[in-house]
Amino acid sequence: MSSSSTAGGWRELHLSLDTPWAEVHHADIATAMRTRAVDTSLGEETSRTVSGAAPRTSEQTSRAVVELRGIRKSFGSTEVLHGVDLVVDPGEHVVIFGPSGSGKSTLLRTINLLEEPSEGSVRVLGVEYGPGLGSNERRGSAIQLRRHVGMVFQQFNLFPHLSALHNISLALRSVQGIRRREAEERAAVALRQVGLLRWAAHFPGELSGGQQQRVAIARALSLDPEVMLFDEPTSALDPELVGEVLAVMRELAESGMTMVIVTHELNFAREIGDFNVFMDQGLIADSGPRGFLDRCDNPRTRQFIEAVL
Amino acid sequence: MSLLANYDWSLIWENKEDLLHGLLVALEVAAVALVLSVVVGLVLALARMSKPPVSWIAALYVNIFRGVPALVSVIWVYFGVSLLLGINFTVFQAGVIALVLLYGAFISEIYRAALQAIPRGQKEAGLALGMNPIRIFARVTLPQATKIAIPNIGSMFIGMIKDTSTFTVIGLLEVTRVTQNLNSTTFQPFVLYTAAAALYVAASFFFDFVFRAVEKSLTTPPAGGIAKFLTGRRRRRIEFVVKDLEALSGRT
């Protein structure tokens, strides 16, 4: 992508912000987001993400891809999230880390409503999907929400009875209603993006963990999501297979995809994280922009980072 | 040896057509009942896994009909329904309904266990992709559950074939009834019932083979000749799509 086209993308975004958000076509947003994200890597003066630690004003968040406000979640009588706010901007890579049981996976899963929050607002691309803060707000359905949000799971969750290709084409046919032939062709393209075209006819059971996770990433990407969620994508992998999955994620990040990643791979987090979130006991205990992992001075955060690295 | 030679074994060969026809009738009733039982069983399994009032009714049904013997069931359906409601089923219909009432209950338990064995993550993956729940059930959960359920459904089918023997009581001309009829004129019960037993066992062996083949075809990757034949087209289509794309990317 050339820098001239990215500049165009910037202008397009600002123009579109003059119109009410609901009227903006999603494709326009997607284009604008991708191109803007390239800007963040090119020059810091064009990017807000470097100032991520500063409080985000409503003007800033109006173009956010994901906005969580006051998220509380209880399982039975146990509350695991005690009111969490998180904003993810277009093209931003948010990394969430913290001890197990701190609520980071639950938080991630509220973004696409796999966990229905008990309280709070889940806004994606400006549309409210969660319980909401105001009572008179119109809400989108969970299915609409999930069509904008891709997710990759720790356990891959490929469909074991379908080949790699059909794992992807089933999703395409079910969600976008396209014909089998076209779905299979697009699935093949998606597999090629993660370097697994040769394995198209193989079943998940015949693939290594790393390959399975790459198929899972391809499956989520084939539906053109606006944001990708990663729930400990490398935690179930043999150490030698972690690299290939991280490589795919790195490439995806460089292409400008908006990403929210729950991970224990702090080296990867340091490299990729535009905004870093440390969760502890159901709250965001600490957070900061790029460089946060090396600079943070909160003793609890430091202690955790040093223990993991 | 001499003991066996005292019996008139030629009777079997002389009446082979009647006996085989009896087997055919038994298999027809069992096969129709199997298809309907799977449908009923699946509905019952879903009902039992749903919310309380519905799940209680399903559980009550299952527990009642698992306990009813086939003989009682068929007498209910054939004579009882006729007396109470005035509906007169043919013996074939009554046999099928009697089996479905019982085996629907058994198969619902088989399916319930199979559906519950599918990891939560499968449904979550479908939801996260934006698939609607009906489609997730039809294309993700059900195929995997069926694969788990197939061996047990096979056992149920063999049980169903054997239970048709009780339909003698309503006059269905299946193996046992044919045997009884032949015995009443020839008085050779040992010979005739041995032949009947052999037919049931042969059917059992045959359908064990059939269900094994089906089971194999559902493994991933599919195993066995029949499975390869059935899934070959799909595999070739994938290879075609892949080659197409490789050729395309080679050119650019």
For residue B118, the SS3 value is coil
Q: Are residues B212 and B252 in the same domain?
A: no
Q: Are residues B131 and B192 in the same domain?
A: yes
Residue B195 placed within a domain: yes
Q: What is the pLDDT of residue A277?
A: 92
Q: Is the CB of residue B124 less than 8 Å away from at least one CB of chain A?
A: yes
- Binned at pLDDT 50, 70 and 90, residue A226 comes out as very high
Residue B9 placed within a domain: no
Which residue in B221, B238, B245 is closest to A206 by CB distance? B221
Which of A264, A252, A177 minimizes the C-alpha distance to A221?
A252
Residue B206 placed within a domain: yes
Q: What is the pLDDT of residue B3?
A: 61
Does the pLDDT at position A51 exceed 60?
no
ipTM over cut 0.85: no
Q: Which two tokens stand for residue A72?
A: 């509380």
Beta carbons of A146 and B127 less than 8 Å apart: yes
Which residue in A165, A171, A204 is closest to B238 by CB distance? A165
Beta carbons of B237 and A160 less than 8 Å apart: no
Does the pLDDT at position A22 exceed 50?
no
- Binned at pLDDT 50, 70 and 90, residue B250 comes out as low
Q: What is the pLDDT of residue B5?
A: 64
Adjacent-strand bridge partners of A302: none
B137 secondary structure, DSSP code = I
B155 secondary structure, DSSP code = H
Q: Is the CB of residue B135 less than 8 Å away from at least one CB of chain A?
A: yes
Q: Are residues B119 and B199 in the same domain?
A: yes
**DSSP strands (E only) in chain B:** none
**Contact map slice: B 92-121 vs A, CB within 8 A:** 119, 121
More confident site: B204 or A309: B204
What CATH number should be reported for the domain holding residue B26? 1.10.3720.10
Interface test with B, best of A165, A172, A174, A191 (most B CBs within 10 A): A174
Q: Are residues B99 and B171 in the same domain?
A: yes
Adjacent-strand bridge partners of A94: A260, A275
Interface test with B, best of A115, A124, A159 (most B CBs within 10 A): A159
Q: Are residues B174 and B235 in the same domain?
A: no
Which of A167, A169, A123 minimizes the C-alpha distance to A149?
A123
Q: Are residues B136 and B240 in the same domain?
A: no
Residue B62 placed within a domain: yes
Q: Give the gap in angstroms from C-alpha B133 to the nearest C-alpha of chain A.
A: 10
Beta carbons of A197 and B245 less than 8 Å apart: yes
Q: Which two tokens stand for residue B83?
A: 């007396």
Residue B5 placed within a domain: no
Q: Are residues B160 and B242 in the same domain?
A: no
Does the pLDDT at position A196 exceed 50?
yes
Q: Are residues B207 and B236 in the same domain?
A: no
Q: What is the pLDDT of residue B139?
A: 93
Q: What is the pLDDT of residue A250?
A: 92
Report pLDDT digits (tens) over B10-68: 877 877 888 888 889 889 999 999 999 999 999 999 999 988 889 999 999 999 999 89
Cα gap A54→A166, rounded to integer Å: 45
Domains in chain B: how many in total?
Answer: 2
Q: Give the gap in angstroms from C-alpha B142 to the nearest C-alpha of chain A.
A: 11
Q: Are residues B48 and B28 in the same domain?
A: yes
Q: Are residues B213 and B230 in the same domain?
A: no
Q: Are residues B238 and B173 in the same domain?
A: no
Residue B39 placed within a domain: yes
Residue B123 placed within a domain: yes
Q: Are residues B92 and B21 in the same domain?
A: yes
**Residue ranges making up the domain that contains B245:** 225-252
Q: Domains of chain A by range and CATH?
A: 3-308 (3.40.50.300)
Q: What is the CA radius of gyration of chain A?
A: 19
On whether the CB atoms of residues B105 and B84 are closer than 8 A, the answer is no
In this prediction the pTM is 0.79
Long-range Cβ contacts of B227-234 (<8 Å, 24+ apart): B234/A163, B234/A166
Residue B75 placed within a domain: yes
Does the pLDDT at position A36 exceed 80?
no
Report pLDDT digits (tens) over A89-138: 999 999 999 998 899 999 999 999 999 888 888 888 888 887 777 666 66
